[in-house]
Structure 1
């Protein structure tokens, strides 16, 4: 695996963008403010947008000469977009971020420093800056001092804040494009660890993470996340991913039942209730679709 403590060559930032016009400029501004002193490029995979995203990207080309835009007609899943960006990336290190978030000024430097000694890395997600009380009630902030570990199996970074050696991406055959939404980042980094590659965490690589703003959008996202979880279980149970525990499932559904009156309460309570219901309903649907029970 390439890397080490010596000089780093070109770094590539890969960012999928679909209908991102309301948020994209803030992310591009943030990338322009990076403290990293080395050479880097930005590869934006314009993923079939129907809004002003393509025009906005064209307007930024003079301001960001290192910006390259790759168009994908008709749109595709996030992992296909990442793979397209990685194929076009010229750097030895690839960093991934999303078009609706805002990277902190030390984000790139933090990930690159970690990649000098590790083949893959994740950074911290900060949720308070960009999000409303309603969004935070549905998806409460978590500690930002370690990689995510939602499933009690292996840790993983979020696709919105991660980096890896391009050589590792090639060795793994890229991201699994059958994961179109949810589980997409988890699957890749689990495969990396199962193949013997170590993950690092960089607390200095901070992304201000934007959540869905209203309860229906939050519920749709959590439903799609939930649908992906049985697919992960199908693919990784044989490697040690534990089954969902009946007691946890029963407590989650009981909590959902007893909090039904929250639907008549304030907006943040409604959003939290809908998020929990959507996740569990998604897991039920995913269990049927993947013929593996993970509730």
Structure 2
């Protein structure tokens, strides 16, 4: 078995069909498998997957409902994988036809890899213009360690096990935490430009705002956790105060249409989430 593709899901009935169809169109002659790790769906997700099991002989469905969150679902899928090579994608995105082959090739050369995203297929143009600059597309540089999104990662199973998998206590940003912990072992995160997925953003302003706020709140928890592992203090109150002072000026100078307004609104959400996270997790660095 050359690759185990792990797809965590929860109430993904509206999108998982498209992802399964995309996985079924892979241009790959090597043996590989799909593991759908269901995190306790209450909609038609499980029934849809069971229908596709009658078509795809390499498709497995596992119960990953014991602990809430995609981290547990990913870990559960990895625990039953038949391959030493693991690849993670999400139920609300769509892999391109060469994704599996690209992941197999990449993991034959490297231990830890990340693919890239295409925003054009699944999102309206205004959504891409509003949100595209905020997402980690491929490997994103950072002053601590680079990172990538968990919807397009590949890794050796032995290394996944070495770091204890994804942190199941983190309901968000567990993918960044995972990337950082893997790299702390000395393993580099490599970019795979031809392992492309079609990424789906939230399609309402409210959904974008709420997601950005929650991510920012968890960002504080993420930094707090890694400061205990040697990460420098990168988020400080004086930085948040500066951002708060600049926001009204940015509104006056940059907001000209729907796209620029949504960008500004997401900046506001990121700031608000950071402030909430500082208070919630007692992160009071000056």
| Normalised TM-score (structure 2) | 0.90
1:191 — aligned with what? Answer: 181
- Are 1:33 and 2:25 counterparts? yes
Cα RMSD (Å) = 2.6
- Are 1:227 and 2:217 counterparts? yes
Q: Deviations over 1:169-189 (max 9, x none)?
A: 1111111111112x2111111
Deviates more, 1:116-125 or 1:65-74: 65-74
- Are 1:290 and 2:281 counterparts? yes
Runs of 5+ unmatched residues, structure 1: 1-8
2:200 — aligned with what? Answer: 210
Cα pair 1:144 1:203 within 8 Å, conserved: no
Cα pair 2:64 2:72 within 8 Å, conserved: no
1:80 to 72, 81, 84: 72
Cα pair 1:134 1:271 within 8 Å, conserved: no
1:170 to 126, 141, 161: 161
Distance in 2 separating the partners of 1:47 and 1:11: 22
Distance in 1 separating the partners of 2:201 and 2:232: 27
Distance in 2 separating the partners of 1:144 and 1:225: 13
Q: Deviations over 1:7-40 (max 9, x none)?
A: xx43100001111111111111111111222111
Displacement after TM superposition at 1:246 (Å):
6.6
How many residue pairs are counted as aligned between the two chains?
A: 284
1:105 — aligned with what? Answer: 97
Runs of 5+ unmatched residues, structure 2: none
Distance in 1 separating the partners of 2:20 and 2:283: 41
1:90 — aligned with what? Answer: 82
Cα pair 1:126 1:141 within 8 Å, conserved: no
Displacement after TM superposition at 1:201 (Å):
0.9
Distance in 1 separating the partners of 2:84 and 2:191: 19
Cα pair 2:117 2:137 within 8 Å, conserved: no
CA shift in 2, pair 1:281/1:99, >3 Å: same
| Normalised TM-score (structure 1) | 0.87
CA shift in 2, pair 1:247/1:78, >3 Å: same
Displacement after TM superposition at 1:241 (Å):
4.1
- Are 1:179 and 2:170 counterparts? yes
